[in-house]
Amino acid sequence: MTLHIPTTPAFKANARAALDNANLQSALRGSRSNSVSKRAKARADLPEFDDLRDRARDLKNAVLANLDLYLEAYEAKVVESGGVVHWAETAEDAQRIVLEICRAAGAKTVNKGKTMISEECAINDHLIANGITPVETDLGEYIIQLRGEIPSHIIAPAVHVTVREVETAFRKAHTHLPADRDLSDLAALMHEARGVLREKYFEAEVGITGANMLVAETGQSVIVTNEGNGDLSQSLPRVHIVMASLEKIVPTLEDAATVLRVLARSATGQESTVYTTFSKGPRRVGDPDGPEEYHVVLLDNGRTNMLGTDFQDMLRCIRCGACMNHCPVYQAVGGHAYGWVYPGPMGAVLTPSLIGVEQGGQLPNASTFCGRCEAVCPMRIPLPKMMRNWREREFEKKLTPGATRAGLGVWAWVAQRPALYRLATRLAIASLRLTGGKRGRIRSLPLAGGWTGQRDMPAPQGDTFMAQWARRR
Amino acid sequence: MGAAAVSARDRILARARAAASGASDPDRAAHVAARIAHAPEAPAPRQASSHGPQRLTQFMAKAEAASATLGRVSNLSELPKALAHELRKRNLPAVARVGSEPLFAGLDWGAIELSQGIGRVEEPVTLSRAEFGLAEIGAVALASGPANPVTLTFLGETHFVVLREADICAGFEDFWIAWRRRGLDPRTINIVAGPSRSADIGQVLQLGAHGPIALHLFIVAG
């Protein structure tokens, strides 16, 4: 299993392949406007939305400023209710801890609700290598597990898979069902997945879920889902493991409500997901169901190193996916091109933090800096600024390609000489206008093949900004 | 988990501590303890501030918008008749899986065969009682336990939930206050808005993903 080895350094090649993938392009076209308009409507329906974003930002900043103390308070509450907290510094730590719990439980099958932290730690690969079968129960995650893929979107992991590809995957995997069954409509596909997974819920000895939040006041983990799979995964097996990164802490139940109010609206345009579940500890004395053991694996994996740096604000992220839904680059190439677990603008910032700028440095370049990601981020994370910070670091570490470095060097030299810069821009405008001729459009341009290969370049109209400014004063 | 995990904890906390700036440790501890004890007051959204008869109206409208169905029951003794009616209407068998909810114990269920226990693989009808409702989002909040086993909420193909009108809160603010006041500490609090759903196949929303295909709420007056 090599699924989790990042292909982020190959972003350009990945992106080219994604643009040529007709199925992917059709799937992306389908989801694009949908997610944008749903979020816009949800935002418009709640006049206080922007105030809530401010409060969500502030509460997370308060946690990050004293993260050590909030973690200790949270841990004490979990222990008080009979749960166990495991601290994982690295992905390998998390793999080892999860495997130890599964082995102690005698697990052959492990059911999984949706958890990005598990993807980050490649838990599935590790379980399989050790003879334990992980079963993804989120419908989208299940589909991509059958196809041997990783999620292409953090909220809609199978957004790149067409309906016919789902049918193909089901026919290949569900060989116990009649080969001539009718899977021509969406309802039949859903019904089949429901039936197959319903059986699996009862087989697993361990259930793993993620956590959208950890509440310091109570020691609860919170998950939000629409399918109910996370709840079945945690209620039926004997052991429940929560995998959470340590910045998921919120101080109180009221703070959790603030995050909930912006989370679903930003993610899917819903006022609330169907299921919002607060879990704490194992089943109580007298409880007829629920797990007998409750474990929380708290993952660091580089996050505490982000505290106090230019990238601390990224730890406010609540994984709603709004940034990628609104990103022109993500909308064009989808999630797989980003080459690792976290795609889109949030992935472009987080990936170099977690796997290093050497591996992930390509991603912050995959941005037009249009700023829509920051404009829609419910936690007001300055994503473009942080991508710019990564570009600077990539440049400082001399990881930027030679031609780009040379080009930037020339530009910087000219830009620092205003008279020369103005002369150069005036000359460039004049010559471009000449090339554009009467049509005002340029068919091909040296060094700009990336633009003119697909469309004409409009010739500049009017004068330079500085010249116009001088006239108006 | 042995010595290695303990030291991982220490190293993680040490890094977080090093990044915390400014105040002394005792000051920070007092500040954090106070922050956890009381979230700063903030005005609730209008949507979470309904009162009077308008609260019930909003709750019902939001629940229906989340694809739940609703029925009003004038008093608890009317509940079996209302359930029987719904079961017939939906072509469901005259059965229901329940926990040991005291509210249901004293009622005459007539022809409906109630069975007590946790959820099983095939569970056509389950019946639970919600502690509270939230008019803000049209959701019900259930407390897991012997009275209302959590698996009934997720394994029932049609899930019926009983809610007292007086237990409908305006929004999360008064809900958490009421929750704490009732002294509840279940393993799970399940806030449920409508039946389960997924858009993972072809990005078309379908009801009935893993949990209930239908959610029906009985609102009991008073």
Measure the CA–CA gap between B138 and A380, rounded to whole angstroms.
28
Q: How far apart are CA B203 and CA A159, in angstroms?
A: 7
Largest separation between any pair of C-alpha atoms in chain A: 85
For B84, other C-beta atoms within 10 Å of its C-beta total 16
For residue A178, count CB atoms less than 10 angstroms from its CB and return exposed for 0-12, middle for 13-18, buried for 19 or more: exposed
Q: How many CB pairs under 8 A join A and B?
A: 250
pLDDT at A452: 83
What DSSP string describes B58-101? HHHHHHHHTT-EEEEESSGGGHHHHHHHHHHHTT--SEEEE---
Cβ neighbourhood burial of B166 (10 Å; 0-12, 13-18, 19+):
exposed
- Phi–psi pair at B28, nearest 5 degrees: -60, -45
Predicted confidence at residue A304, as pLDDT, reads 96
Q: Where does the pLDDT of residue B5 fall: very low under 50, low under 70, confident under 90, or very high at 90 and above?
A: very low
Lowest mean pLDDT among A110-114, A377-381, A464-468, B146-150: A464-468
Interchain pair B201, A189: CB under 8 A: yes
Task: Report CB contact under 8 Å: B16, A30.
Answer: no
pLDDT tier, B4 (very low <50, low <70, confident <90, very high otherwise): low
Contact A194 B210 (CB under 8 A): yes
Residue of B31, B32, B121, B128 best to disrupt the A interface, most CBs of A under 10 A = B32
For position A6, what pLDDT does the model report? 86
Q: Is the pLDDT of residue B142 over 90?
A: yes
B210–A86 CB contact, under 8 Å: no
Task: Determine phi and psi for A159, rounding to 5 degrees.
Answer: -60, -20
**Residue A274 to residue B192, Cβ atoms within 8 A:** yes
Q: What is the pLDDT of residue B6?
A: 58
SS3 of A235, please? helix
pLDDT digits (tens, 9 = 90+) for A277-321: 999 999 999 999 999 999 999 999 999 999 999 999 999 999 999
Residue whose token pair is 């009467």: A438
Q: Do A228 and B154 touch (CB under 8 A)?
A: yes
Q: Are A373 and A323 in contact (CB under 8 A)?
A: yes
Rg of chain A on CA atoms, in Å = 25
User: Which B residues in the span 1-60 are in contact with A, Cβ-Cβ below 8 Å?
Assistant: 1, 5, 8-9, 11-21, 28-29, 31-33, 35-36, 38-39, 42-43, 45-47
What is the number of alpha carbons within 13 Å of residue A71 lying toward its C-beta?
A: 29
CA distance A374 to chain B (A): 23
Those of residues 76-135 in B touching chain A at CB distance below 8 A are 99, 117-119, 121
- Nearest residue in chain B measured CA to CA from A250: B36
- Find, in chain B, the residue whose alpha carbon is nearest to that of A223: B190
> Which of B20, B118, B188 is nearest residue A288 as measured by Cβ atoms?
B118
Contact B198 A202 (CB under 8 A): no
Q: Collapsing DSSP states into helix, strand and coil, what is residue B47? A: helix
- The per-residue pLDDT for A3 is 46
Residue A437 has pLDDT above 70, yes or no: yes
User: What's the pLDDT tens digit per position in B181-196?
Assistant: 999 999 999 999 999 9
Pairwise CB contact (< 8 Å): B209 & A139: yes
Q: Please report, as a single letter, which amino acid is at residue B181.
A: R
Predicted confidence band of residue A2 (pLDDT cuts 50, 70, 90)? very low
Which of A314, A303, A457 has its CA nearest to residue A390?
A314
Contacts of B150 in chain A (CB under 8 A): 231, 235, 289-290
Bridge partner list, A136: A112
Residue B3 has pLDDT above 70, yes or no: no
User: Which residues on chain B are in Cβ contact (under 8 Å) with A229?
Assistant: 209-210
CA gap A457, A460 in Å, rounded: 9
Chain A residues closer than 8 Å to B206 by CB? 186-187, 190
Q: What is the tens place of the pLDDT at every residue in A52-82?
A: 999 999 999 999 999 999 999 999 999 999 9
DSSP string, A334-384: -SGGG-SS--HHHHHHHHHHHH-HHHHTTGGGS-----HHHHH-TT---HH
Beta strands in B121-213 (DSSP E): 125-129, 132-134, 139-143, 158-164, 168-169, 188-192, 197-198, 206-207
Chain A touched by B73 (CB under 8 Å): no
Residue A298, strand partner residues: A87, A244
Contacts of B151 in chain A (CB under 8 A): 232, 235-236, 289
| Residues B52-72: tens digit of each pLDDT | 999 999 999 999 999 999 999
What is the pTM for the complete model shown?
0.93
Among the partner-chain residues A198, A257, A280, the one whose CB lies closest to the CB of B187 is A280
**DSSP class of residue A191?**
H
- From A157, which residue of chain B is nearest by alpha-carbon distance? B200
Q: Does B177 touch chain A (CB under 8 A)?
A: no
Query: What type of residue sits at position B161?
Result: V
Whether the CB-CB separation of A241 and A112 falls below 8 Å is answered with: no
- Give how far A115 is from chain B: nearest CA, Å: 16
User: What pLDDT band is residue A386 in, cutting at 50, 70 and 90?
Assistant: very high
The DSSP letter of residue B198 is E
- What is the rounded distance in angstroms from the CA atom of residue A5 to the CA atom of residue B117? 46
Query: Which residue spans within A106-262 are E strands per DSSP?
Result: 109-112, 133-136, 206-209, 213-215, 220-225, 239-245, 249-250
Q: Nearest Cβ partner of A156 from B119, B185, B200? A: B200
Q: What is the token pair recorded at A104?
A: 């102690």
Tell me if B191 and A277 make a contact (CB, 8 A cut-off): yes
Asked whether residue A106 carries a pLDDT value surpassing 80, the answer given is yes
Tens-digit pLDDT profile for residues A147-184: 998 888 888 889 889 899 999 999 999 999 999 999 99
Six-digit token string for A405: 């470095």
pLDDT higher for B2 or B70? B70
User: B129: burial class by Cβ within 10 Å (0-12, 13-18, 19+)?
Assistant: buried
Helices (H), A238-343: 253-267, 322-325, 328-333
Closest Cα in chain A, distance from residue B39 (Å): 6
Q: Kindly report the CA angle at B172 between B168 and B175, in degrees rounded to 5? A: 45
Range list of H helices, A20-162: 22-44, 49-65, 67-80, 91-104, 116-120, 123-129, 139-146
B108 vs B81: CA distance, rounded Å: 9
Nearest CB to B196; choose among A86, A226, A277: A226
Which strands make up the sheet holding A275-279, listed edge to edge?
A249-250, A213-215, A220-225, A275-279, B188-192, B139-143, B132-134, B168-169
Mean pLDDT calculated for residue range A237-260? 98
Q: Indicate the residue of A220, A274, A298 with minimum beta-carbon distance to B197.
A: A274
> Would you say residue A1 has pLDDT above 50?
no
How is B25-36 classified by DSSP, letter by letter? HHHHHHHHHHHH
Q: Residue A177 has which token pair?
A: 């069902």
Tell me how far apart the alpha carbons of residues B79 and A16 are, in angstroms, rounded to a whole number: 62
Overall size of chain B counted in residues? 222
Q: What is the pLDDT of residue A402?
A: 85
- Render pLDDT for B193-222 as a digit per residue (tens, 0 to 9): 999 999 999 888 999 999 999 999 999 997
| pLDDT tens-digit series, residues B85-113 | 999 999 999 999 999 999 999 899 999 99
* A287–B144 CB contact, under 8 Å: yes
Place of tokens 């992991």: A157
**Tokens at residue A70, please?**
């909030």
Q: Is residue A145 within 8 Å of A114, Cβ to Cβ?
A: no
List helix spans (H) across A220-321.
229-235, 253-267
* Distance between A273 CA and the closest CA of chain B, angstroms: 7
Beta carbons within 10 angstroms of residue B5's beta carbon: 17
Q: State the residue for tokens 């009275």.
A: B147
Per the CB < 8 Å rule, is A67 touching B20? Answer: yes
